[in-house]
Amino acid sequence: MTTPPLLEVRGLDVEFTTPDGGTLHAVRDVSFTLRRGETLAVVGESGSGKSTTALALLRMLPGTGRISGGTVRLDGEDLATAGEDRLRAVRGARIGMVFQDPMTALNPVLTVGRHLDEVLRAHGGTDKRARRARAVELLRLVGIPDPERRLDDHPHQFSGGQRQRVLIAMALAGEPDVLLADEPTTALDATVQDQILTLLGELTRTTGTALVLITHNMGVVARSCARVLVLYGGTVVEDGPTAEVLTRPRHPYTAGLLAAVPRLSAPSGTRLTGIPGTPPDLSLPLTGCAFAARCALAEDRCHTAAPPLADAGGTVRAACFPAAERAARAALAGPDEDTEPPAAPPVPARIDRPAPGRVVLTAESLSKTYGSRRRRFTALDGVSLTLAAGETLGIVGESGSGKSTLARVLAHAHPADGGRILLDGRDVTRPGRAELHAVRRRVQMVFQDPYASLNPRMTVGEIVAEPLRAFAIGAPGERADRVAELLRLVGLDPAAADRHPRSFSGGQRQRIGIARALAPEPDVLICDEPVSALDVSVQAQIVGLLTDLQRDLGLALVFIAHDLAVVRQVSHRIAVMHDGRIVETGGADELCEHPRDPYTRALLAAAPEPVPVRRVPEAVSA
Amino acid sequence: MRGYLLRRLPSALLVLLAASFLVFAVLRLVPGDPAAVLAGPDASPETEAAIRARLGLDAPLPTQYVRWLGDLLTGDLGPSYAIGGRTADLIGDGLGATVELTLGALLFVVVLGAAFGILGATARNRWVLGTVRVLTTGALAVPPFVTGVLLVLLFSVLLGVLPPGGRVPLLAAPDLGVQYLLLPSLCLALPSAAVLGRYLKDGIERALAEDYVRTATAAGITPRRILRRHALPNALPPVVTLLGMQTGHLLGGAVLVEAIFAWPGLGQLAEQALVRRDYPVVRDLLLLLVTVFVLVQLLTDLVHAWLDPRIRWE
């Protein structure tokens, strides 16, 4: 009675040629099927091959990418070998695609109406007036108010969420059977993400379009898709109904990934769980399971033979020898016996951390405005806060809330327009040259993007030693020793000093950034979204490092993030920012459990949580 | 758009006023008294003073400056000192020829530049790409006085299809005029066309790598249409700016090319006026050049704003 699948991917292999002539196996032997109206999440971390898989389906691989094996059948027609003309007839008409960054995915010089018109025109819309009417209809469908008028506006006149709606409208313009959405909400704020996911859900339900949602966010998976495909190192490691996979993950990687996701329900002081090790090097041939090197349950055969995707109990399939055996044992024992907890994630641990000490940093009604006379933008509006030694103050807010401006003003990267900043009780709001130097030494920053914030032409040693030189700390001969010490402190091999940032992963680069910030022995570390560019399994390592450093060095941390769950776990106190003001501040647990401000409530409600909620053993809180 | 023009206009006028002052000041401050040159080396001081009085050069400098501005507004620029005739007529005669030459060259710049740029960015064939690269490098590297001679050698001497020099006004006899115009305007255009082509190629390549092109590809839009409707509009604004600047180069380059092809334009006039120290002609030519430059810049900005909606909202 099963209808043939709409989309059937069999043994898909994708390779890239690296600049030095090597081969990168980005996708290896990926198979899955998609039925009409189905919602499938493809989840994985960076380098897992999820976006490459999506692009391969449309044969839009960038650069040297090529499909080196396998088939992609859409209603029986193999797209892997189809000609360009056929592909163009599929793109937009049978398979619509939505990309990650709505800020760059729309052409800045074309009106939104033209964007839609181009798609409609490409798929047989010959009558100009009919196309315009359809464009209005599409904008209305995706919830853009006043569509007739907005049609003649350009992308920069829309907000990020609205641009993503426009992109969804473009993807739906050809009435496709499949909507491929590649991280459609990653660049958006939580409340906007919530709206977009709701929209996608409604659209797929009402139009019967099948949805393939590519994401790294387990919360998004839980909220949006009936089925989930977990990718690791370019291979499918688990495939099954979302509820099953998220509550009883069969593959150790899935289990580890789920455990690494910070839970909004976990109280302040909970140590995040990461996955030890780093993802596999895709330029090496793969023998055995891609996850074996990081897996606690790995056996000898896991390193030598690739486990096939096999039944792992229920309707879930996993590529794991131990999981398959467990399923086989359970099947023999009968359906009721399948209760053995597979690859249980470790129980979350508590961070042991001292109580905060004396106040080091105080801000009193800081204000900051940007822009010209004609257009003023108030970034900070009467922001006051205190920060004690050994304390972590979490600052949460959406884009444009002023949290990054606050970081820059506190770090004296920008001067405040009004208000006062006190360091150990001394007014340092408008320091003189010498004083500014002293203040900067004591207040250091860790930046968001570990790729952009390290100079690619300097070696790691030069990067970490730069503050030492700038603040004339130690004799030039001794600095190499200090750099080695700092690198060890952040968990890197001192030999890293001779290499360039490009040979390090995102997490390692963030460690380098932290070592640089620690070099002048600051009292205050201002971390502006330090983990938001990192994968969840790595995020835990960096957050753990920051809290360990705080315990050992007595650092006062300002931890700025948009992810409330991470902030709750690392912070003693949280301040919620909105439109340049702190709308609510309080103890981390208190604020998350009993929010008073309506905006805090909205933020909490919008954060998607993966099921299930694991209760943490009751904290012995001070 | 009109608001944008109105916002830009005052600064353009101000630049012109400042330029007029500079032109006037520089020419009066450099050594060499026009009256002395005009009178000749053997003339008595009285003769010189008489000439000076006749030309109004004995009035205080601010008065002379204001008088000149007044002349500019009425269009009556007075007599030339050395060449003979009225300055306005001399410039008017040359202007037609130079505008014709420059516009012809501009047409070549746009057509050849677009061809170089689009082929260079989108061609897949190795031979096409190689040819484009060799042609652009050659056009950029070889100076006009060499290309001019080569063009004359090829088309006039060897093939005998085009005249080697001189001018027939295009408006008077279009078919003949074009024949005279082709070689000098091509010679003048080649370096600028190469520069423009390089910029356009880079711009198109950059635009084609943008996310919005990926969006358009995923929507099933054809590569040809993506190039025309999505990539080109984004690649053009910086190229238009460059074209505006190149127009200045063309005017400057015209002096040389006019000499090669015996083209009776402003370049020839400027050369004569400089050699014979015809002060008012040099002065008014300079100001004309600045005015053209300012106008072209204004036009460039307007086209820029028309191409890129974000600028209009700044």
Amino acid at B169: P
CA distances from A339 to A252, A313, A327, A509 (A): 16, 10, 10, 42
pLDDT at residue B283, rounded to an integer? 86
**One-character DSSP codes across B65-87:** HHHHHHHHHHT---B-SSS-SBH
This prediction has a pTM of 0.81
- Judging contacts by C-beta atoms under 8 Å, the chain B residues touching residue A105 are 211-212, 214-215
Q: What's the pLDDT score for residue A2?
A: 59
pLDDT at position A581: 93
Q: What pLDDT score does B11 carry?
A: 87
Cα nearest neighbour of A90 on chain B: B220
> Is the model's pLDDT at A612 over the cut of 50?
no
Question: Which of A109, A151, A168 is most worth mutating to test chain B (most B CB atoms within 10 A of its CB)?
Answer: A109
pLDDT tens profile B20-37: 999 888 887 777 777 777
Q: Which residue has the tokens 């996701």?
A: A261
Give the pLDDT confidence score for residue A159 in this predicted structure.
87
Mean pLDDT confidence for A394-401: 88
Q: Which of A192, A109, A96 is nearest to A138 (CA)?
A: A96
Per-residue pLDDT reduced to its tens digit, A71-127: 999 998 999 999 999 999 999 999 999 998 888 999 998 999 999 999 999 988 788
Contact B218 A123 (CB under 8 A): no
Dihedral-angle region of residue B194 (phi above 0 means left; psi in -120 to 50 means alpha; beta otherwise) = alpha
pLDDT surpasses 50 at A617: no
- Domain range list for chain B: 87-278
Q: How many residues does chain B have?
A: 314
Contacts of B217 in chain A (CB under 8 A): 60, 91
The Cα of B222 is separated from the nearest Cα of chain A by a number of Å equal to 7
Task: Kindly report the nearest CA distance between residue B122 and chain A, in angstroms.
Answer: 15
Is A99's Cβ below 8 Å from some Cβ in B? yes
State the smallest CA–CA distance between residue A110 and chain B in angstroms.
8
In chain A, what percentage of residues exceed pLDDT 90? 45
Partner-chain residue, chosen from B218, B222, B309, that has the shortest CB–CB distance to A109: B309
Average pLDDT over residues A546-574: 90
Cβ-based interface (< 8 Å): residues of B facing A? 210-212, 214-222, 225, 229-230, 233-234, 307-310, 313
Closest alpha carbon to B249 in B190, B182, B177, B183: B190
Three-state DSSP state, A6: coil
- Please name the residues in contact with B127: beta carbons below 8 A apart, sequence gap of 6 or more: none
- Inter-chain touch B307–A119, beta carbons under 8 Å: no
The pLDDT, as a whole number, for residue A620 is 38
Q: Given the structure tokens 């006019």, which residue do they identify?
A: B258
pLDDT tens string A359-373: 999 999 999 988 766
pLDDT higher than threshold 60 for residue A346? no
What distance in Å separates the CA atoms of residue B199 and residue B191, rounded to the nearest whole number?
13
Distance, CA of A92 to CA of B218 (rounded, Å): 6
The minimal CB distance from A118 to the residues B221, B234, B309 is found for: B221
CATH class of A354-605: alpha beta
A72 lies within 8 A of chain B by CB: no
- pLDDT bracket for residue A621 (50, 70, 90): very low
Start and end residues for every CATH 3.40.50.300 domain found in chain A: 354-605
Check: CB of residue A77 under 8 Å from CB of residue A6.
no
pLDDT for residue A513: 93
Cross-chain residue pair B214–A174, CB shorter than 8 Å: no
Amino acid identity of residue A316, one-letter, is V
The span from the CA of A190 to the CA of A397, in Å, is 10
Measured CA to CA in angstroms, residue A486 lies from A451, A517, B275 at distances of: 20, 10, 72
- pLDDT range class, residue A240, cuts 50, 70, 90: very high
CA-based nearest distance A181→chain B, Å: 11
Q: How does pLDDT run across A526-549, given as a tens digit for each residue?
A: 999 888 888 888 888 888 889 888
Q: Which of A175, A235, A182 lies closest to A54 in space, CA to CA? A: A182
Which of these, A223, A240, A215, A278, lies nearest to A50 by C-alpha position?
A: A215
Q: Which helix (H) or strand (E) holds B196?
A: helix B174-208
Contact between A42 and A237 under an 8 Å Cβ cutoff? The reply is no
Check CB contact under 8 Å for B219 and A96: yes
Whether residue A142 contacts residue A158, with contact meaning beta carbons closer than 8 Å, is answered with no
| Residue stretches of chain B with pLDDT short of 50 | 314
Q: Do A91 and B217 touch (CB under 8 A)?
A: yes
Coil, strand or helix at B221: coil
| Averaged pLDDT of chain A | 87
> Is B173 or A464 the better-scoring residue by pLDDT?
A464
Lowest-confidence segment of A142-151, A219-228, B223-232, B274-283 by average pLDDT: B274-283
Strand pairing category for A573-578 and A392-396: parallel
B305 in Cβ contact with B234 (< 8 Å): no
Where is pLDDT greater, at A458 or A608? A458
Asked if the model's pLDDT at residue A434 lies above 90, the reply is no
Residue A305 identity: A
pLDDT at residue A611 in the model:
58
Sign of the Cα pseudo-torsion (A432, A438, A442, A446, in order): positive
Which of A89, A104, A156 minimises the CB distance to B211?
A: A104
Cα separations (Å) of A140 from A95, A125, A134, A151, A165?
A: 21, 19, 10, 11, 10
Chain B CB contacts of A167 below 8 Å:
215
Q: Describe chain B by its helix, strand, coil percentages, rounded to 5.
A: 80, 0, 20
**Token match 């052409």: residue?**
A107
Q: What is the mean pLDDT of residues A157-163?
A: 89
Q: What's the pLDDT at B184?
A: 93
Contact state of A108 with B229 under an 8 Å Cβ cutoff: no
* A346 against B272, higher pLDDT: B272
Residues of A in contact with B221 (CB under 8 A): 88, 92, 118-119, 122
**Binary contact (A92, B220; C-beta < 8 A):** yes
Spatial distance between the Cα atoms of A557 and A566, rounded to a whole number of angstroms: 14
Task: Say yes or no to pLDDT of A31 above 80.
Answer: yes
Beta-ladder partners of A584: A576
Pick the CATH number of B87-278 from 1.20.1560.10, 1.10.3720.10, 3.40.1380.10, 3.40.50.12280: 1.10.3720.10
- Answer whether A301 touches B (CB < 8 Å): no
Q: Is A91 on the interface with B (CB under 8 A)?
A: yes
C-alpha to C-alpha distance for A409 and A371, rounded to whole angstroms: 16
Q: Give the number of A-B residue pairs with CB atoms closer than 8 Å.
A: 89
Rounded CA separation B117/B63 (Å): 52
Q: What is the predicted ipTM?
A: 0.79
Q: What is the pLDDT of residue B216?
A: 94
Alpha carbon A227 to its chain's center: 21
Binary contact (A99, B221; C-beta < 8 A)? no
pLDDT reported for residue B137: 92
Mean pLDDT of the region A51-61: 93
Predicted confidence at residue A373, as pLDDT, reads: 65
User: Hey, is the C-beta of A158 within 8 angstroms of any chain B C-beta?
Assistant: no
Q: What is the pLDDT of residues A184-206, one digit of tens each?
A: 888 788 888 888 899 899 888 88
Cis peptide leading into residue B191 (ω within 30°): no
**Percent of chain A residues topping a pLDDT of 70:** 94
- What is the full DSSP assignment across A24-84? EEEEEEEEEEE-TT-EEEEE--TTSSHHHHHHHHTT---TT-EEEEEEEEETTEETTS--H
